[in-house]
Chains A and B, each alone.
Chain A
Amino acid sequence: MTTSTSSPTSDERSWTAAVRSRAVEALPPEKLLPDKQPAYVASWIYVFGVLSLSSLVVIIASGSILALKGPGWWHFTGIGHFFNSMHLWAVELFFFFMVIHLWGKYWMAAWRGGRARVWITGAVTFLIAIPCALTGYVSQQNFDAQWISTQAKDAMNAAGIGSFFNLLNFGQMYSYHVLLLPAAVVGVVVAHILLVRRHGVVPPFDLQRRRELLGANGGGPADDGAPR
């Protein structure tokens, strides 16, 4: 058994030390877990990101319980109905909050200040969450699921992607719904949050400065470097 020494040479060779060094450099602890936020964050429009995240936690928790107990439980017992409904309504709220979060960030151009990857990961989360939710409809194990899957497979075939997966295959759709797509959503959401921590919450537009520039320019377009 060999032991590592603390010499700089061994640190440079160690991939764990290199990863640690890069991680701490990218996200120092005070940025990763800040105890203060800028004053402009005190607005209701900044709340919808964390509301989306809270809904996602309820979705994962209620979905895990449904997966543990199975279709017989969620269709034929009172408590099963309750958790089934909780899972559905958490998804409804997740999309409700996520759309408002998306609108808010779109209108404040949240990709400003080197935040392009924050915007992209948010948009990708939204795109992955759609099939993640839709595969839930075909994983219910009831007539509703049969009807939806037989209708949806025609749409998928018409779009030319029906050869990659089969909506009539319950096992495949259930695997997509409880493992592959949720793992992708959670993975991209984690990346999104880490990027928000790294770059900080996007500030609102500086309207006062913009008014001054417009005034100084005689009402014409101001060359303030703002994106258009």
Chain B
Amino acid sequence: MVAIRWLPTVPTMLAAIFDLNHPAHVIHWHFLQLSAANLVVIILMLVVFAAAVLAPFPGHAARGGSQ
């Protein structure tokens, strides 16, 4: 168990960066209402989707890929 003693300190360190001890921030725009955390995740998914479509795949050109 000695090797895992550092584990309980990890949440403490993260809590210092992200203070979660408060109600969630909520975005409210007309009919749309969602938490700021969910909005961040949705934006991240859109960014990753765009990157997955546009970014070149390693080794594709070397195999004679056209795009």
Chain A residues in the interface with B (C-beta under 8 A): 39, 42-45, 47-48, 78-79, 81-82, 92, 96, 99-100, 103-104
CB-contacts of B1-41 with A (<8 A): 1, 4-5, 7-8, 10-11, 41
| A44, B51: Cβ atoms closer than 8 Å | yes
| A42, B52: Cβ atoms closer than 8 Å | no
Chain A residues lying within 8 Å of B65, measured Cβ to Cβ, are: 39, 42
Chain B residues lying within 8 Å of A100, measured Cβ to Cβ, are: 45, 48-49, 52
Chain B residues lying within 8 Å of A92, measured Cβ to Cβ, are: 41
| B52, A45: Cβ atoms closer than 8 Å | yes
| A103 vs B55: C-alpha distance when bound (angstroms) | 16
A47 to chain B: closest CB distance in Å?
7
Chain B residues bordering chain A, tally (CB within 8 A)? 23
Chain B residues lying within 8 Å of A47, measured Cβ to Cβ, are: 52
* Total number of residue pairs linking A and B with CB closer than 8 Å: 52
| A45, B4: Cβ atoms closer than 8 Å | no
Task: A39-B65, A45-B52 are known; give 12 further A-B pairs, CB within 8 A.
Answer: A39-B60, A39-B63, A44-B53, A44-B55, A44-B57, A45-B53, A48-B52, A78-B8, A79-B7, A81-B8, A100-B52, A104-B53
A48-B52, A96-B45, A100-B52 are contacts. A43–B7 as well, Cβ < 8 Å? no
| B57, A99: Cβ atoms closer than 8 Å | no
Which residue on chain B has the smallest CB distance to residue A45? Answer: B52
A196 to chain B: closest CB distance in Å?
18
